[in-house]
Amino acid sequence: MDRKLTEIIKKRYNRTALFYDWMDRMIPDEWRRRVWREARGRVLEVGVGTGANFPFYPPGCQVTAIDFSPGMLARARQKLHLARVAVALQEMDVQHLGFADASFDTVVATCVFCTVPDPVQGLQEINRVCRPEGKIILLEHVRSENRLLGPLMDALNPLVLYFVGSNINRRTVANVKKAGITIEREENLAGNIVKLIIGHPGG
Ligand SMILES: C[S@@+](CC[C@H](N)C(=O)[O-])C[C@H]1O[C@@H](n2cnc3c(N)ncnc32)[C@H](O)[C@@H]1O
């Protein structure tokens, strides 16, 4: 893991926190509902951001929500009242989770592995803390495989990374497999660019 890059991206998200709720309107509530329909039991949300998922947490869950950006977490703290369940917010890096193996029944991330500096390490960590029969639920935008759009996303990526802290050309499905997570289902929500990926811990 590159500590310097992690600090740079964290700082960028502290800045992005100021306007993130406006950007976040690009993610329809229906996608978030689909994600959270699948969550059960002890839930870990990684990269909670400003708390956009709080209204969708299902009753009956116990949620621990982490983010490495104090700026994003400060905004999330102001929205805790929108959650219908108890939420424990913690400042933590998904690349080094401070939880024991198999601590959670469900691990959720929405639009996070486009930003994590070492996405495979972060995915390996969620693979570790999810119990073997548990569920890993990811909503992620990925690089298009279209022969025009893919290279265009590659060309624009440095700009988006600089201004927002996010990569628009990550091959997240391949990263999920590299991390050892077994994919059960993959749904395309917007062309083949936005995906709901449901999996469980693998070897
Ligand atoms: C695009 S925002 C998504 C926020 C939220 N999940 C949502 O759906 O609105 C990405 C979030 O991931 C967080 N993040 C990025 N890398 C992280 C890391 N290594 N550890 C923890 N959080 C991280 C950022 O701080 C940011 O809050």
Mean pLDDT along residues 16-27: 86
Residue 95 structural domain: 3-200
In the predicted structure, residue 203 carries a pLDDT above the cut 80: no
Q: Tokens 């983010």 belong to which residue?
A: 67
Q: Is the CB of 94 inside a 6 Å radius of any atom of ligand 1? A: yes
d(CA 50, ligand 1 centre) in Å: 9
Determine if ligand 1 sits within 6 Å of the CB of residue 127: no
Residue 108: CB within 6 Å of ligand 1? no
| C-alpha 101 – ligand 1 centre gap (Å) | 22
What CATH number is attached to the domain comprising 123? 3.40.50.150
DSSP secondary structure, 103-168, as one string: -EEEEEEES-TTT-SSHHHHHHHHHHHEEEEEEEEEEEE----STTHHHHHHHHHHHHHHHTS--S
CB of residue 112 inside a 6 A radius of ligand 1: yes
Report the separation in Å between the CA atom of 67 and the middle of ligand 1, taken as the mean of its atom positions: 6
Reported as type and span, the H/E element at residue 87 is strand 87-91
CB 40 within 8 A of CB 67: no
Top pLDDT among 102 and 17 is at: 102
Domain count, the chain: 1
CB 125 near ligand 1, within 6 Å: no
Instruction: Summarize pLDDT for 63-117 with one digit per residue, the tens.
Output: 999 999 999 999 999 999 999 999 999 999 999 999 999 999 999 999 999 999 9
Whether 32 contacts 61, CB under 8 Å = no
For residue 159, how far is its CA from the centre of ligand 1 (angstroms)? 18
